[in-house]
Structure 1
Amino acid sequence: MPTKYTKEEVEKIRLSIDRASKKGKRDYAIFLLAARLGLRSSDIRLLKFENLDWDKNIIKLDQYRTGKYIEIPLLSDVGNAIVNYLQYGRPASESSFVFLEAIYPYATISQGISKIFSTIFRNSGINIEGRKHGSHALRHSLAVRMLKENTILSVITEILRHENTNSTKYYLRIDITSLKKCALDILNVEPCFYTQKGGTFYE
């Protein structure tokens, strides 16, 4: 089952990030890209300046996982977090990648992005025991929140950039509220149903 976090838990995680430090400014922007836009960690890690269209307020890129070209709105809070990192947190570098390691020689973030998310979750103080705590958990949580808000499946598919709605249906399994609406009452069965024809069919 996919891991999900409540809206309140996601907000607590967001507020726990130290935005006063340079590293915190980076981590805050990375967190919002996953929590608000549902970007996968690979697409965040490989995000380049050329992918940010400030004039149109969109992010445009070829998804690492699917190769599919996407354009998504650059929400104001996400854009402001990126700008804050670029102005006050990002080390001087000629790299075309937006996010860099926080220690010298300030290389491009590699698989360490998983550690970044793990640290963010652990430092938030919320209970993560037995729960995944990465960008995918934030994608799952975003999907569940939209389901609870009665967002239609095709819209969620578009927001999460799935190939089709079959992939999005994966999240229906953890939308307990909606599943309860589909539950049918169990009818009482008379004992004679099981004893008909001597009951041999039901032994």
Structure 2
Amino acid sequence: MDWLKKIKDYKTFLQIERGLSKNSIENYVRDIHKLYNYNIEFKITRTPITIEKNDIQQFIYEIAKVVNPKTQARIISGLRSFFDYLIFEGYREDNPLDLIESPKLSRTLPDVLTDDEVTKLISHIDLSHPQGERNRAIIETIYGCGLRVSEVINLKLSDLFFEEGYIQVLGKGNKYRFVPIHSITIKFINFYIEHTRNHITPTKDDEDTLFLNRRGKKLTRQMIFIVLKDLAAKSNLNKNIGPHTLRHSFATYLLKEGVDLRAIQQLLGHESITTTEIYVHLDRSHLQKVVEKYHPRNR
């Protein structure tokens, strides 16, 4: 059975049945191609149906020489999902990764910015530059709404419900959610629309896209990373800063202010509460305040 044919079918399954985003699908498929290329390099004639545990173990042993444990764990997880799909479709009866353990990973906590540091970051935006107002609106939106970078670049004008105080966000798994938006963020978005976007001619298929580059096209994820890296350097912030840093900072600030973890989960669009719980590990000081306020002996 042809590897490439099965990989193509798997991509269709991830898109239609699981509703994953294009980026997520590419990440899954990239790791399966690593196994496929390994088989070609070492002249292994196993197919997706006949490959066995020992073959997978040897592949993992080789790839562990060049990747870190986190990447290794991701590859194992991706391959396990692929072979689960083959079982689901009736091509296999077993998963060759069932008895293969992922490396133990220590939980790494993301960098977080204080509100003053975010303000400092924004203060270094050159508002005289044609794209300065856009960049300020983007950062205010990510930080003020806790969005993923993919969510902010895919925002549309038709997703803005400012009178109701919400924006509609397309999150992971192509699932929509409504996120409250603060009046300050609304002000910066409206200012960008009126003074910058209205002077740009959108390209076909991007007429409804909110944030555009100077050629009228939707922004890329890489562009926002570059903008933030440049601002971090100008601000002398010795932290690893990217779009997700702003999202983490949003959630951490809410938690410190006593916002319920379930509410933060809904705002961030986390499918599982365990994903949101990482913010509890960032700063435990709020837990002491909770105990002091709500302890049964506190009368």
- TM-score for both structures, normalised by structure 1: 0.77
1:109 aligns with 2:219: yes
Give 2:136's aligned residue: 28
* Aligned residues with identical type, % of pairs: 28
> Which residue of 239, 242, 260 maps to 1:134?
242
Unpaired runs of at least 5, structure 1: 182-203
Letter in 2 for 1:87: E
Give 2:174's aligned residue: 67
Letter in 2 for 1:149: E
Of structures 1 and 2, the one scoring higher in RCO (CA 8 A, sep 6+) is 1
Call closer, same or farther: CA 1:71–1:173 in 2, change over 3 Å: same
1:1-203 equivalent positions in 2, closer than 5 A: 1-63=109-171, 65-90=172-197, 91-94=199-202, 95-102=207-214, 105-111=215-221, 112-123=223-234, 125-128=235-238, 131-178=239-286
Cα distance in 2 for partners of 1:73, 1:150 equals 18
Q: Secondary structure at the match of 1:36?
A: helix
Call closer, same or farther: CA 1:62–1:173 in 2, change over 3 Å: same
Letter in 2 for 1:156: I
Q: Secondary structure at the match of 2:246?
A: helix
Give 1:190's aligned residue: none
Cα distance in 2 for partners of 1:151, 1:57 equals 19
Letter in 1 for 2:165: N
Q: 1:113 Cα deviation (Å)? A: 2.1
- TM-score for both structures, normalised by structure 2: 0.54
Q: Secondary structure at the match of 2:216?
A: coil
Cα distance in 2 for partners of 1:132, 1:66 equals 27
Count matched residues. Answer: 176
- Structure with a larger share of its residues in helix: 2
Cα distance in 1 for partners of 2:170, 2:285 equals 35
Deviations 1:2-53 (A, max 9, x none): 1111222112112332334331100000001111111111111111111112
Letter in 2 for 1:113: I
Q: Secondary structure at the match of 1:59?
A: strand
CA contact (8 A) 1:22 1:85 kept: no
Cα distance in 2 for partners of 1:39, 1:100 equals 17
Unpaired runs of at least 5, structure 2: 1-108, 290-299
